[in-house]
Structure formats: structure tokens, C-alpha cells
A and B are shown apart, each in its own frame.
Chain A
Amino acid sequence: MKFGRKTQIAAALGAVTLGLTACSGGSINNNTTPSASGGSASGAVAGTVKIGFVSPQTGPLAPFGESDTFVINYMKDYFSKNPLMIGGKSYGVDIIVKDAQSDSAKAGQAAADLINNDGVDIVMAAGTPDIVNPVADACEANNTPCITDNAPWQPYVLRGKDGIKSTFKWTYHFFWGLEDVAATFQDFWGQVPTNKKVGGLFPNDPDGQAWSGNLPTMVGANGYTINFPPLYPNGTQDFSAQISSFKQNNDEILTGVPIPPDFTTFWKQAKQQGYNPKIASVGKALLFPSSVDALGDLGNNLSTEVWWHPSWPTKSSLTGITPKQLCDQYETTTGKQWTQPIGYVEALFEVAANALTTSGSTDKANLVKTLSTLSTDTIVGHVQWSPTAGPTSPTPNVAKTPLAGGQWRLTNGGAHKYELVLTSNAVATSEGLNIPLGGKEEALP
């Protein structure tokens, strides 16, 4: 447990723990207090809001949580200088982080622990359906507002029993969906002449099932046919069967959603056995620069979906920082290349802060009421929930954010081995975010 500040009054701490509100006023306030050095020293602080955050920091999903420490330190630093103004009173922000250890059961436990033992006002979670869904379920069970992202919205909505679409009262999610991936991938495929035959490398896990179940119909309308052998188990050591199927079918396009080690095994074998598609757009395995670096030179011009990129024409509604500045700061602080979750974790704090200040109280029922129609222009784009289905909100409790696509290109001596060059912005443009392209999709060698 990490307690950033110890200056709060004990009585106020107790009150907040019980979820009481200091004030029931609903006026919207400027959420920042100009204060040169730690406003906490002044007597103006009325209490502390506690935000719980669950993410996978260790285990196989750890790359999704790798940048969290940086973003949370950045937010702690910000909140220590700029307490939130909630209902006319100044509140410190206490961020409590729990590691889900890449395990669904642990993620749910961590959320319940945050609610019942730490007495948090809001829970947030990020990083794949395996983490997000159990956290959201725990919040529904414990009547606590929950904001999540970094997981396609379909698995989130279908998390009820037996995959039935459920309605949720306490939990809100923002991210893109499979329809956006399908559109982005087709935007890639349209830029390079091919025979429109697609080989699909889908594993037998929730992502593989969702993709293989939906992608073929989504791209079928435009004449693409996806040939995919039955789903293989993660950890497969040899892909000769898939490769011979793709070769036999002459699939000039490759797609799929394998885990990174499996894609490396597959791609090296494909090269060895002479399967050379003209274009390869792969989800999940190519999200993180570390995974692409690990392919050596074979990663050049592989394409992937891009949720967020330093060139996004946005800025944080909370701190005013731009994506470029945030990524630069990350690279300077950690010495590592930027990753896409940075923006989405920062956006969670923007949405939470906006919900708190807009609602004007820390009352949980009041907060979810605010979230149901909340609109925030975050660093990842516009986040807007709506009780009725609309363009930004395909279903209540889900807000859609823009998606783009990019190609990993060797920099040949640049600061990083590979740079992610944006080559598709069709989906984001249709959603009203004009993202500058970095180049045109290039065929694989």
C-alpha cells in the first residue's frame, strides 16, 4: 500500500472511508488549485479521495502494466500539487495500486480488497479482459464505481454468465472494439495489391475465439476470405501445419492475435519454410516494442493496431500534457521506448477526476450517475458514455475511443531499433479525430 500524503485530518479520513460526502453541492468546479508548492500545507484540504488501481504488473501480462508505475508517479506528483476541487472543497488524492499478477482470480480479489479493506471511492483497472472483467464484476458486487480500459469492448460487454450481454450499474469502460480492428486491418490491406486471401493465426483463448468468430464476417463484405485452421493452443512449439495450410491456400495476407512468443516461433518458421505473405497485420503480439525488437530484423514492416501514439492530436484534460511530451518524459525517466498503455492509464485518471469534480461529491451513487453521461476529452481521445446507444457509445457503460494502425519500421541506427509509423487513420477520422499519418502501408519483402 502506498500512501502519498500523511497530512490529512484523521477525522476526514474516517469520513471518506465510509464513503460519506463532505458536501452535496453539484456545481462544477475548476479541478485544479493553483498552488506553487504542495497545497496540502494550507488548511484548505477537506479530505482525501481514494482511488484504487488494479493492473497486471507481474506475470505473462506484465507488459500491459509495465508503464503503470511511471504514470502513477506522474499522477501522484500532479495531485500532490493540485488537489481536486470537489463540491467547492479541496481534496487530496490517494492512489492505491494492486498487482493482479496476470491472474483473473487475483484481479477480482484485489478489487474486493481495495473496496472492503482500503475503502476506496473509485476502482480503476486496465490491461486485457482477463484483468478488467473480474475487477468490474467485483465492483458490481460491492456497489463501487469502476472505470476500466485497455480491453476491446466486446469481451467486456459479454462478461455476464454464458456470454449473455449484461447491463451494468457500477462499471464503465472505454476502448475500441473488434469492428475497429477489422476496419483498420482492411485499410492496411487495401493499400497493397493482393489476391484478398487471408491466413488467420488464431489461438484457442478468449481473444482468438472472439477474433476468429467475428473477423471473417466483418471482412467478408469487402471480398476478403479468411482461411484459418482450427484454433491452436498457446505455447505451440511448431507451426508447420498452419504454414503449409497458408502456403497451399496462397494466402497473401496474414492476420491473427497470437501471444508474442508464439508469433516469433511462427514467423521464424514461416520464413524458414518459405511462407512470405505480402502483408501481415497481427494483433496483440506486436503491440509492444520489446516484442518487435525480439524478432530481430524479421519484424520490419509488420503491421498492428495502434490505440495511442505520440502523434495523437490530443492533450490531457487534467495536466495539459501532450502525448509527445508524456512519451518523452517516460523515455527519459525509464530509459525505455514508449508503449501504448501509457496514454490509456493516464486517461483513466482524467476520467476519474472529471467524474469526481463533475459529480461534486464522493458519494458512490452520485458518481455512477455522473459517469453514465460523462464526457471527457482525454489524451487518448473523446470519452463519452450515454444511456442510449449512439456513435460514441455502442451500448450503455461503454464509450468508444479512436483506433489507428501502424507499421513497425527499422530505424537503422535511430534511438530505437523500430519505430511505429502510422499508416491507417480511417477509423479515427470517421470518429472525428484527425491523426496525421506517418507514411503509407508498405508490402513485406
Chain B
Amino acid sequence: MQWANAIVQGVILGGLYALLAAGLSLMFGVMRLVNLAHGALAIVAAYMGMVLVNKTGIPPFATLLIVVPVMALVGWVLQRTLLNTALNRQALAPILVTFGLAVILQNLMLELFTADNQSIDVGSLAGASIQITPDIAVGVFPLITFVVGVFVIAALQLYLAKTTTGRAMRATSDDREAAQLMGIDHRHIYALATAIAVGLVGLAGVFLGVRTQFNPTFGDVTLIFAFEAVIIGGLGSLWGTLWGGIILGVAQVVGAQAFPSSGVLLGHIVFLLVLAFRPTGLFPKVVNG
């Protein structure tokens, strides 16, 4: 039963990783842009949620109505001002820009919020759980996180497949020049993609802030797992990212059940194995342009 429990908890953890990785996956899929500020942005959102809860007393989930749009706007401005310019230079430029952005954001948060560990308080929900079998109990909040993670991935996938803008995004991703010839303004499409991605980071950040404690430098820890989820699943593939997150989560938790000291390590090993034998990921989707 311990093993069944480990698998269930691993799948649920995978939902969190997928939620964290969705924005990363989208930005890479559309722009081939590796956003190293992803973790720092998630923490910015967590602080935003915390301040809103503490100052206005609105319920934690209601803060999403403010945090997500604000973060989306931040993403849009970011792409329009900084990243679009950087994307026109060498391949390394956008990575360096996002890295610099992460450093600046971390230090700004340190100035504003100090190094104190913070958390977004959800009251009794923090400890609430559903008993599935006598040996398996699933936390209500982690379950909500998982469901939201799956929903986000599904919604993004539908958006890219069914809407005109989504198609334009895929077209730009496949062949920017050809898309431009068809009258698609890639700068606008990119800004839109980043807006969605950063908005999703905002969503993930608030969930992260409820789940554990965070401080300005906490983003780095989470960034690595999000990256691994994206790469295991296959670059640019959204469903792949969900599977990648779940595989990583199960590898960590089941691994820890077998070797308690090596749970995180086994996650990394799975990631390295995928990189070594299937560099395009398990569920590759991208048509390389």
C-alpha cells in the first residue's frame, strides 16, 4: 500500500510541476525562448498574492482574479520592451536578458520583503484531506493544484488548436518569416504568448505560495523541476509537459519510498536518461522550423 500511496502522491505532485512548467513550455514552444526568470516571476506572484490576502483580507483564491491579469500585463510589457529586442540578436541574448531579470527581481524582492519566509494562509484547507483507502489520503489543496494543472494544460492546448490567434501562434512558431508574409505581426503574437505564459506563472506562483513557504530566492529551486518537466515531456508539447511533470513527480516520490535519501536524485536521473536517449523528449510535438 505504501507503493500505491507513493504513486498517488507522485502523480499529484506532478500536477504542481505541470502547472509551474506550463508557461515555460509555452514560451519555449512559440519563441524558442528559455525564460530563466520564470522562477523569480512565480515568487513575485506569490508575494503579490500574500500582500493582497494580508492587506485586503480577500480569500486566497480570489487574489488570482487580480494576480493573473497583472502578471499577464507584466508579461506583455516585458515581451514588447525587452524580449522582442533581445530575440532579434544572437541566440544567447534572450537567455542573458531573462537571467539578468531574475537577479534584479530577486534583489528587489529582498529589498521590499526581506528574506523572511512567507506563506499564503488558506486556514484549515492547508491540512484538509480526503481519505481514499485506509492507507491513502490525498490533501485537498494538492488535489486542487493537480486539477488546475490539468485544466490549464487542456485549455492552452484547445486555445492553440482551435482559435485564430492560437493558430497564428503555432504558425509563427513553425516559420516566423512565412507567418510574417501572411500578415501576422510576430511581435504581437510573441507579446501575447508571453502574456499568457507569465499570467500562468502568476497562477502557479500563488499555488506555490499556499503550498509551502517562499522567500525571494525560492524561485531557483522550483525552476529546475519545471525545466525538467518540460524537457522530459518534450520541448514545446503541452500535453508532454503534463506527462513530464507527472513522470518527474512519480520518479521523485516512488524513488524516495525506495531510497529515502535519493528521491530528488532519481527525478534528476530520469531527466538525464530522457536527455540521453530521447533528447526531443517523450512526447515531441514541435516541428523544427
Residues of A within 8 A of B (CB): 58-60, 62-63, 66, 204, 229-233, 235-242, 244-245, 248, 260-261, 264-265, 268-269, 271-274, 288, 290-291, 293-298
Contact = CB atoms under 8 A, between A and B. Distances in A.
Given A238-B263, A245-B260, A261-B218, A296 B6 contact: no
Given A62-B114, A233-B261, A238 B126 contact: no
Interface stretch (B174-182, B249-257, B274-282): B249-257
B261 A230 contact: yes
A264 B9 contact: no
The binding surface of chain B is classed by DSSP as helix
A393 to B, nearest CB: 33
B24 interface: no
Contacts of B123: 296-297
A271 B114 CA distance: 29
B115 A272 contact: no
B81 interface: no
A240 B6 contact: yes
Given A66-B114, A294-B119, A204 B127 contact: no
Interface residues on B, range: 35 or more
Given A232-B256, A235-B264, A265 B114 contact: no
A300 to B, nearest CB: 12
A273 B139 contact: yes
A238 B116 contact: no
21 contacts: A58-B107, A58-B110, A231-B261, A232-B263, A232-B264, A237-B249, A237-B252, A238-B263, A241-B263, A242-B260, A244-B2, A244-B5, A244-B257, A261-B218, A264-B119, A264-B212, A268-B211, A272-B128, A273-B137, A291-B117, A291-B213
Interface in B170-218: 211-215, 217-218
Nearest to A339: B116
Contacts, number: 144
Nearest to A235: B221
Contacts of B142: 272
A245 B110 CA distance: 37
Given A236-B264, A238-B13, A294 B213 contact: yes
B129 A295 contact: no
B138 A272 contact: yes
Given A237-B249, A240-B5, 9 more contacts: A58-B110, A62-B115, A231-B261, A232-B256, A232-B263, A240-B257, A264-B212, A272-B127, A290-B116
B126 to A, nearest CB: 5
A290 B117 contact: yes
A294 B118 contact: yes
A274 B218 contact: no
A238 B110 contact: no
Contact of A240 (B116, B117, B253): B253
B213 A58 contact: no
B124 A241 contact: no
A49 to B, nearest CB: 30
B180 to A, nearest CB: 42
A405 B221 CA distance: 32
B126 A271 contact: yes
Interface in B111-141: 114-119, 121-124, 126-129, 131, 137-141
Contacts of A248: 2
Given A241-B257, A261-B212, A290 B127 contact: no
A179 B139 CA distance: 37
B159 interface: no
A272 B256 CA distance: 18
Contacts of A294: 117-119, 213
A400 B161 CA distance: 68
Given A231-B261, A261-B214, A268-B139, A63 B121 contact: no
A230 B6 CA distance: 17
B116 A66 contact: yes
